Amino acid sequence: MLETYRGAYFHPRTQFITIDSKGNVLESDDVLFSLKKGEHLSSISPFFEGLSSYFDVQEKNDIKFTCVHLENEHKKDLICDIEFKTFANKQPTLVIIHDFSDHYNYYQEVAQSRNESVINSQVLELQNKYLQEKEDFKNTFIANFSHELRNPLTGVTAFCSVLQKTNMTAEQEDYVEVIKSSADHLKNMIGDILEMSKMEVGKLSFEEEVFNFHELIEMLEFTYSVKAKQQNIAFEVNFDKKIPKYLEGDKTRIQQVFENLLENALKFTTTGQVTFSIIENQRRARKVNLNISVKDTGIGISAEKLDLIFNSFTQLNNSRKYAGTGLGLTIVKGLVELMDGKITVESKKNVGATFKININFKYPTNQENISLENKSDLEHKNNLSKKKYSVLLAEDSELTQMAVLKILAQEGLFFLDIISNGEDVIESVIHNEYDLILMDIRMPGTNGDELTKMIRTLPVDNCKTIPILALTANLYQEDKKRYKKMGINDIIEKPFDETTLLKKIYKYLK
């Protein structure tokens, strides 16, 4: 009988067993499990003990169990499908055990691999989401941090300018200079932190312009000669006059690189000298290659610490004598590399350090017919058509309000309305005709850029053309593009002083 069944249901690695109504073995081909005649089927596995109801079925039926784990006499785990086939006329029950271990293990590996892939994808997605949230939090924190610090700094800087125009004693003038110097130092440190943040997220922008490179070097020579003299050290400049007078690049960033290197050299040099060298290396295809170096005779850097010198927030000398944020050289390296340049350092402990930069600059081929616009915007004051101008200041900081009020009051040319809440700005613009609006970007209620967009759409005369100047510390490139898109004419960066504010205002008055 078993051979008949094998012929009908044969499959590789399949065992056929016939049992009686009590579950005792009648025949077995022992392909997977060795069974003796009369032995109970449960000797294979306790799994079969609960199936006694299938042993004595007197009708034709086919019952299947899938993915059943059985262990053979060699302690090998088999994953099987099991069929119970019952027949009418009291024929023995046929038990068919299919060993599908390879099949199940393969699909288990496939499923596990697929699950792991899905899990890894989800983990990566969660990690990216976490990093994005972390980055967003950092940017929001820095923006808030910058905004909250720059408002009081604006007050300090602006009122220093106002104080300097009053009748003060020589002692008071010295005190104001100290306050102004401290405010400038704090402003620079805040700027360093923001610069680092911009570089880390790839949002640092460069403004390409033609500028007078010789004039920049002369200004640096004058400034740092005075500083070096105050420290009783020498300052020497080796400037190659063959370098084109006018170069193309971001003058502000280039100046920032030079100033950070010179400040660093002066800070760590107490005797001897600092040497600033700018030498032309070669010219090719409207580009000039320059070798720039800043050499000092200061405390120097030990060889094992040279690799750390450009790391963020790293100070190799922790003495309070050399206090700072530890960001200056990091910013220098970041700016130089973003301008496709290279910076290196050579140093010996207690001998000094030399920072070297190799960088290319574009330059106009016709150096003779370049005319840079140096006219001060304050000169527009002499060409004004009105005796009094109406200005709206939308600003929630009382310090900034007072600073702007004092500065404009001294000019004697302005009527000033001050609004502290964004929701009241639109109503004021509708009912008053202003010549210019100073708009704080971070206003309570509605942000200044959104308010500007609303003003530009008002059905009121002058609203489409009135100059709107943003007061802000948020100067990422996407911020500038958004401001322009919203209808803002120009930006006054916080903290600002009297000259900066008036230059921007007079530039847009008619």
User: Tens digits of per-residue pLDDT, 187-200?
Assistant: 767 766 666 666 66
Domain 2-99 has CATH 2.60.40.1180: no
Task: Say which range, 34-38, 210-214, 321-325, has the weakest mean pLDDT.
Answer: 321-325
Q: Which residues of 96-126 are buried (b: 16+ CB within 10 A; e: fewer)?
A: bbbbbbeebeeeeeeeeeeeeeeeeeeeeee
Residue 58 has pLDDT above 80, yes or no: no
Q: How far is CA 414 from the centre of its chain?
A: 41
- Dihedral over alpha carbons 126, 129, 133, 138 (to 10 degrees): 100
Q: Would you state the structure tokens that stand for residue 258, as one six-digit string?
A: 């030079």
Two domains, one topology: 2-99 and 125-200: no
Rounded to an integer, what distance in angstroms lies between the CA atom of residue 266 and that of residue 274?
Answer: 7
Q: Does CATH number 1.10.287 belong to domain 125-200? A: yes
Look at strands 287-296 and 273-284 and give their pairing. Answer: antiparallel
Q: Which residue has the higher pLDDT, 152 or 224?
A: 224
pLDDT at 281: 92
For the chain, domain boundaries: 2-99, 125-200, 209-362, 377-508
Q: Is the pLDDT of residue 380 over 70?
A: no
Question: What does DSSP assign to residue 311?
Answer: S
Cα–Cα distance between 266 and 249 in angstroms, integer? 26
Instruction: Give kind and range of the element (H or E) at residue 198.
Output: helix 170-200
Which tens digit of pLDDT belongs to each residue from 65-102?
A: 988 899 888 788 898 998 988 887 778 888 999 998 88
Separation CA 449–CA 447 (nearest Å): 6
Rounded mean pLDDT, 27-43? 89
Q: What is the CATH number of domain 377-508?
A: 3.40.50.2300
d(CA 197, CA 48): 69
What is the strand order of the sheet 77-86 is part of?
25-28, 14-19, 93-99, 77-86, 61-71
Q: What is the CATH number of domain 209-362?
A: 3.30.565.10
- How does residue 490 score in pLDDT terms, banded at 50, 70 and 90? very high
